[in-house]
Structure 1
Amino acid sequence: MEEKRMRWSILAFGMVITALGASLSVAEISCSEALRSLITCTPFLVGFGSDAPDTVCCMGVQYVFEQANTTATRRDLCQCFQNFASEIGALPERVKELPQFCNIHVTLPIDANVNCSN
């Protein structure tokens, strides 16, 4: 059960990253690398622990944001995270709050129903 929550949390968080847009970095990031980078955000996203993500979580958010620098990569990551959605239970309000807590500007709405092909 805990693993399912963690995966959903990572999915939801990934949708945040997908919405963040491109950065200047050249490297691309894989699904598994993104999931590993965001694992520390799980307690915050599922409502366990503190009311704010920790510094390591925000560093992971920033890293994934910087690496998701092409439309194709962002689409792939979106799909990657959506594949976990039915298995994990992140709190939607926590997902929406993550960019604000990590001081990252989001230009698109954070929504579990996002269309990854757009």
Structure 2
Amino acid sequence: MEKKRMDWSALMAFGMVIMALGASLSDAEISCTEALRSLIPCTPFLVGFGSSAPNVVCCIGVQHVFEQANTTATHRDLCQCFQNAASQIGALPERVKELPQFCNIHVTLPLDANVNCSRIK
């Protein structure tokens, strides 16, 4: 029962992060809000609850996000968006980095909290 309560709390926190960051990418091919919505199914994996691998719906969301991110500006904006969201929901850095591997998806930007987003090309 406690585990389900923690999963729900993480999802609620992620939803609030989405709302708070909603207007941050107005000119991007994919907005911060849309990207975060696509990644909601990844929350249990990213914060360390439940399975040790992301589910199929999560991987579909990851693929959607990275298919829509085609410009340097979008990569930089999404980098900052993801860093902020990951920090606010308490995502485990190693899980964030592992996500593309688990989903068998090549990503075009680093998923690392220590990356300087303004230097991404």
Name stretches of at least 5 consecutive residues in structure 1 with no aligned partner.
Answer: 11-26
Deviation string for 1:65-115 (max 9, x for gaps)? 000111111111112223334422111111111111000134665421111
Against the structure 1 CA distance between its residues 116 and 33, is the aligned structure 2 distance closer, same or farther, given a 3 Å change threshold? same
Match of 2:76 in 1: 75
**Which ranges in structure 2 are unaligned for 5 or more consecutive residues?**
1-8, 19-27
Aligned partners of 2:66 and 2:107 also within 8 Å: no
Query: Runs in 1 of length 4+ with deviation above 4 angstroms?
Result: 106-109
Return closer, same or farther for 1:80/1:109 CA change in 2, 3 Å cut-off: closer
Letter in 1 for 2:75: R
Percent of residue pairs identical = 82
1:7-18 mapped onto 2 (5 Å cutoff) = none
1:49 and 2:54 matched = no
Q: TM-score when scaled to structure 1?
A: 0.73
Structure number, greater radius of gyration: 2
Number of aligned residues:
100
Q: What residue is the counterpart of 1:90 in the other structure?
A: 91
> Against the structure 1 CA distance between its residues 89 and 55, is the aligned structure 2 distance closer, same or farther, given a 3 Å change threshold?
same
* Of 69-78 and 52-61, the range deviating more from structure 2: 69-78
In structure 1, what is the Cα distance between the partners aligned to 2:103 and 2:114?
A: 23
- Aligned mates of 1:29, 1:112 — CA distance in 2: 20
Indicate the residue corresponding to 1:31 in structure 2: 32
Q: Which has the higher contact order (CA 8 A, sep 6+)?
A: 1
State which drifts further: 84-93 or 41-50. Answer: 84-93
Query: Residues 108, 30 of structure 1: CA spacing in aligned structure 2 closer, same or farther, 3 A cutoff?
Result: closer
> What is the TM-score normalised by the length of structure 2?
0.71
